[in-house]
A and B are shown apart, each in its own frame.
Chain A
Amino acid sequence: MAAPTPSQTVGPFFDRQLLWRDGGTILFAGGPGERIRLTGRVFDGNGAPVVDALFETWQVDAAGQLPTGGEGARPYGYGRVATGADGSYAIDTVLPGSFKGPGGETYAPQISITIFARGLLKSVQTRVFLASLDAIKDDPLARALANSDRLSTLIATRDPNDPTTYRWDVRLQGGGETVFIDA
């Protein structure tokens, strides 16, 4: 086995070169689905906003189908945005459906997340759930974390004043540190 090429930080200077036009509006081939916005902020170990993260999202469509193809200059199902001066990100997408794994296991509605940033020598990856704690208990990751109160770090909460908005913050380090995965 050849050793993989080591990861290095994305650095602070990627915006103009790496971001996609409308990269925060996720496209899908199929039907409309329920349009939602996933938004939140990324924080460091002191609770300060991470103002220069590259935030990427990958998800199934509203029917739980894996996206293939794309249009214009963007692939279906994939989002790429940068965090702003307050550490915030936002993607406009559809509520993903649940989907099955190879062993018949059910994956709850979720979005796979990859974050790169200055100070992150390797990306962090995780999954955010767009469903309540009750609704995800059969999900493989939720089961793996069933006895941990850290599972709550992966649940986006629906804004009571705007049900099309899901809020999810990321804490890279320290109290309430978000669960990151090696999948």
Chain B
Amino acid sequence: MVETHAADVHPPYLYADYRSTRLRAPVQPLVRIAPSPLETTVPSFPKQFVKESEADLTTWGKSAPLGEKMVLVGRVLDDSGRPVRRSLVELWQANASGKYPHPVDDHDAPHDPNFMGKGQVLTDDEGRYRFVTIKPGAYPWQNHAFAWRPAHIHLSLFGNAYAQRLITQMFFPGDPLCAIDPIFNSVPTAGRKLLVADLDLQHGIEGVALGYRFDIVLRGTRATPMGL
């Protein structure tokens, strides 16, 4: 069978520098098997699932959230370069102080009553998405001494097939914390730049918000059943 493989730039399950992987990473190899008919489809999200207002995280509260306003644009493509259309993209993040609205987050930083940090959109027919948000703050964590997560935005995608389901994190260009972040560094060197957004001023809002671009590539669906 002829198969063209893009370089595998996903992180391994076990990456000892990221402590939480040590007891959670499966050890047994994955069993390769053809997707079931169910797994070649995705759930359909009803119209009401996504409200237009959910693309703008800065209008959730009674007034504007604190922080540096930004626009995030990008395209979702499959690994052959085809747009992934009408598919759900969810975004969540910390506020400008690096604090999540979560009871387990014990970082001594303030909540922002005007920022929930959650948005969602459907991609358009060209696979494009656009969010307006604020730049999240970096925050300390317990992984090792002086550990700080670089500012990052979580993205969750459904794609157009179950096998395309992906959760990833987007980082900011030039952030010195990336180089010392084991979660970022769990990705093979060749893949790390794929997690870093580009500054894209033209897609910002003049005088209001910086623009960033983050394109996302989802794996294709296998035309030929693999393995078993």
B195:A6 contact, CB within 8 angstroms: yes
Given contacts A7-B168, A17-B92, contact A112 B37 (CB under 8 A): no
A76:B21 contact, CB within 8 angstroms: no
Given contacts A18-B156, A107-B36, A118-B20, contact A6 B31 (CB under 8 A): no
> Among the listed B20, B45, B48, B162, which residue makes an inter-chain contact with A119, where contact means beta carbons less than 8 Å apart?
B20
Cα(A76)–Cα(B39), bound, Å: 14
Residue of A nearest to B76 (CB): A5
Given contacts A66-B37, A112-B38, A112-B162, contact A173 B23 (CB under 8 A): yes
Residues of B with C-beta under 8 A to A76: 43-44
Which of B7, B105, B156 counts the most chain A CB atoms within 10 A? B156
Cα(A172)–Cα(B27), bound, Å: 8
> Among the listed A75, A99, A180, which residue makes an inter-chain contact with B45, where contact means beta carbons less than 8 Å apart?
A75
Given contacts A2-B6, A46-B23, contact A101 B36 (CB under 8 A): yes
Residues of A with C-beta under 8 A to B41: 66
A5:B216 contact, CB within 8 angstroms: yes
Given contacts A112-B162, A116-B167, contact A3 B104 (CB under 8 A): no
A-contact 0/1 string along B7-44, CB 8 Å cutoff: 10111110100111111111110111111111101011
A-contact 0/1 string along B93-111, CB 8 Å cutoff: 0100000111011000000
Residue of A nearest to B25 (CB): A173
Q: Which stretch in B62-70, B77-85, B202-210 binds the other chain? A: B77-85
Query: A10 → chain B, closest Cβ, in Å?
Result: 5
Number of interface residues of A (CB under 8 A): 76
Q: Determine the main DSSP class of A at the interface with B.
A: loop
Which of chain A's residues 141-183 have a Cβ closer than 8 Å to chain B? 141, 143-145, 150, 172-174, 177-183
Decide yes or no whether A128 CB sits under 8 A from chain B: no
Q: Determine the main DSSP class of B at the interface with A.
A: loop
Cα(A57)–Cα(B31), bound, Å: 19
Residue of B nearest to A8 (CB): B169
> Among the listed A58, A66, A177, A179, which residue makes an inter-chain contact with B27, where contact means beta carbons less than 8 Å apart?
A177
A69:B44 contact, CB within 8 angstroms: yes
Cα(A73)–Cα(B51), bound, Å: 10
A-contact 0/1 string along B150-166, CB 8 Å cutoff: 00001010000011011
B11:A8 contact, CB within 8 angstroms: yes
> Among the listed A17, A44, A121, A144, which residue makes an inter-chain contact with B13, where contact means beta carbons less than 8 Å apart?
A121
Given contacts A11-B154, A117-B24, contact A4 B219 (CB under 8 A): yes
Interface residues on B, range: 35 or more
> Among the listed B32, B36, B166, B216, which residue makes an inter-chain contact with A182, where contact means beta carbons less than 8 Å apart?
B32
Decide yes or no whether A137 CB sits under 8 A from chain B: no
Residues of A with C-beta under 8 A to B38: 58-60, 66, 99, 107, 112
Query: B80 → chain A, closest Cβ, in Å?
Result: 7
Residues of A with C-beta under 8 A to B177: none
Which of chain B's residues 150-196 have a Cβ closer than 8 Å to chain A? 154, 156, 162-163, 165-169, 183-184, 186-188, 190-192, 194-195
Residues of A with C-beta under 8 A to B219: 4
A5:B194 contact, CB within 8 angstroms: yes
14 pairs, CB–CB < 8 Å, chain A vs chain B: A1-B4, A6-B187, A13-B105, A16-B102, A45-B23, A45-B24, A52-B104, A74-B49, A75-B45, A118-B20, A144-B31, A173-B25, A173-B27, A180-B30
With A1-B4, A140-B34, A181-B32 already in contact, 19 other A-B pairs whose C-beta atoms are closer than 8 Å = A3-B217, A4-B166, A5-B195, A8-B187, A17-B92, A17-B101, A17-B116, A18-B92, A52-B104, A66-B41, A67-B43, A74-B49, A75-B46, A107-B36, A116-B167, A181-B30, A182-B31, A182-B32, A183-B39
